[in-house]
Structure 1
Amino acid sequence: MFTGIVQGTAEVLSIEEKPNFRTHVIRLPTDMLPGLELGASVSHNGCCLTVTRVEGDRVSFDLVKETLRITNLGDLKPGDFINVERAAKFSDEIGGHLMSGHIMTTAEIAKVLISENNREIWFRPQDALQMKYILHKGFIGIDGISLTVGEVTKSKFCVHLIPETLARTTLGNKRLRDKVNIEIDPHTQAIVETVERVLARREQQLKDAATLAEQ
């Protein structure tokens, strides 16, 4: 589990390609190294990955085919930077919202509006079906950052970013058509799907009652 409060950014140092598989090495910030062991979980742009090797501040992770397909991690190249967060502990302050590190889809940056001390970014999810889970003032994870949803249309949504978020994460360097990872708030997803099931069941009951009345 993660909180969506990004602890820093890390540079991708190297990438080893294998069939349907990839190993990449990042330089983890020094303050994130204490206690880091093999098997530990670290969020990369919101995607939970497992530590496979630690050599000083050089930390290795394996990415399987599904991870490369679903997330933006398959687009990385040496020299790129990612948002990173160590797994949350029970004693940690949850400043954002609980996140699993399981990416649902990616989204393309559709519009960037800049004003003094503020930035509004609009995103268009690759999987349009995910829009039903994205609600005004709801939670969402964008490249591992816990954010509050602003306006929502049928195909897009926006967030408002303060200078601290822009300086602390990679979002400050994003441009139009860049791709970001999206994690939907699981509580919102559960509520929406429960309501859909209840309404579908009610509709079927009404149809069955109408059919019996005609007989």
Structure 2
Amino acid sequence: MFTGIVQGTAELVSVEERNEFRTHVLDMDDVMRKGLEIGASVAHNGCCLTVTRIEGERVSFDLMRETLRLTNLGGLKVGDRVNIERAARFGDEIGGHAMSGHVICMAELVEIDEAPDNRRLWFELPAEYARFLFEKGYVGVDGISLTIGDVRGARFSVNLIPETLARTTLSDRAPGDRVNIEIDPQTQAIVETVERVLASRNDPVR
């Protein structure tokens, strides 16, 4: 489990390409690596990956075909940075919202509204996921727990304070970029449960 409170960013220093398979090697500092072991879970732009090798400051992670299909990680190149969060532990403060690290889709950044001390980003989801968007609801954007501002069909906005911009890669995002999206699991469960109940009531067989 993750909380959506990104702990920092890490640089991608090596990419090993194979057939529909990738290995990413990140340069992780001492704080990020403290207590890290092979088999541990680390979220990269909100996608849960498993540590496969640790060599000093360099930590390796394997990306399977499904990960490359659903997330923006397959488009990264050496020198890019990713948002990093270590798996939550019992007793940790939950400053964001509970997240699984399972990316449901990507969204396109379509508009940026600048203000002196904050920034509003507008994203567009694939239409089939618009039903999970609610004003003041939660969403995971590249692993960051954010509150939804406005909703307009399949588009939604989030408002970023300077600390979020300084700590994450969202400060570098430009229109046309694609980000990883994790829908709040509770919201998804409620919406899908209501849909099933309504469908069963309208089923002529019943």
TM-score, normalisation: structure 1: 0.94
Q: Does 1:156 find its partner at 2:158?
A: no
Measure how far apart 1:208 and its partner are. 5.9
Q: Does 1:72 find its partner at 2:35?
A: no
Q: For the Cα contact (< 8 Å) 1:15–1:24, is it kept in 2?
A: yes
1:104 corresponds in structure 2 to 104
SS at match of 1:123: strand
Tell me how far apart the structure 2 counterparts of residues 29 and 159 of structure 1 sit (CA, whole Å): 29
1:86 corresponds in structure 2 to 86
Q: CA RMSD in A?
A: 1.0
| Deviation string, structure 1 residues 73-122 (Cα, Å, up to 9, x no partner) | 00000000000010000011000011000000000100000011010000
2:37 corresponds in structure 1 to 37
SS at match of 1:69: helix
Question: Which letter does structure 1 place at the counterpart of 2:172?
Answer: N
Tell me how far apart the structure 1 counterparts of residues 199 and 98 of structure 2 sit (CA, whole Å): 30
1:212 corresponds in structure 2 to none
Tell me how far apart the structure 1 counterparts of residues 139 and 160 of structure 2 sit (CA, whole Å): 13
TM-score, normalisation: structure 2: 0.98
Which structure has more helix as a fraction of its residues? 1
2:4 corresponds in structure 1 to 4
Measure how far apart 1:29 and its partner are. 2.6
Tell me how far apart the structure 1 counterparts of residues 26 and 154 of structure 2 sit (CA, whole Å): 34
Measure how far apart 1:28 and its partner are. 1.1
Tell me how far apart the structure 1 counterparts of residues 51 and 186 of structure 2 sit (CA, whole Å): 28
Tell me how far apart the structure 1 counterparts of residues 34 and 150 of structure 2 sit (CA, whole Å): 40
Question: Which letter does structure 1 place at the counterpart of 2:134?
Answer: L
Larger radius of gyration: 1
In the TM superposition, 1:43-58 aligns within 5 A as: 43-58=43-58
Q: For the Cα contact (< 8 Å) 1:3–1:99, is it kept in 2?
A: yes
Structure 1: 5+ residue stretches without partners: 210-215
Tell me how far apart the structure 1 counterparts of residues 83 and 29 of structure 2 sit (CA, whole Å): 11
| Deviation string, structure 1 residues 183-215 (Cα, Å, up to 9, x no partner) | 0011001100111111111222xx469xxxxxx
Tell me how far apart the structure 2 counterparts of residues 35 and 42 of structure 1 sit (CA, whole Å): 12
Question: Which letter does structure 2 place at the counterpart of 1:77?
Answer: K
Tell me how far apart the structure 2 counterparts of residues 113 and 162 of structure 1 sit (CA, whole Å): 13
Measure how far apart 1:22 and its partner are. 0.5
How many pairs were matched up?
A: 206
Q: For the Cα contact (< 8 Å) 1:8–1:29, is it kept in 2?
A: no
Tell me how far apart the structure 2 counterparts of residues 208 and 106 of structure 1 sit (CA, whole Å): 37
Measure how far apart 1:30 and its partner are. 2.0
Tell me how far apart the structure 1 counterparts of residues 4 and 23 of structure 2 sit (CA, whole Å): 24
Q: Does 1:135 find its partner at 2:141?
A: no
SS at match of 1:22: strand
Q: Does 1:199 find its partner at 2:198?
A: yes
Q: For the Cα contact (< 8 Å) 1:26–1:59, is it kept in 2?
A: yes
Tell me how far apart the structure 2 counterparts of residues 75 and 131 of structure 1 sit (CA, whole Å): 25
| Deviation string, structure 1 residues 104-162 (Cα, Å, up to 9, x no partner) | 0000100000011010000011x221111111100110000000001001120000000
SS at match of 2:202: helix
% identical aligned pairs: 61
Structure 2: 5+ residue stretches without partners: none
Tell me how far apart the structure 2 counterparts of residues 100 and 208 of structure 1 sit (CA, whole Å): 37
1:186 corresponds in structure 2 to 185
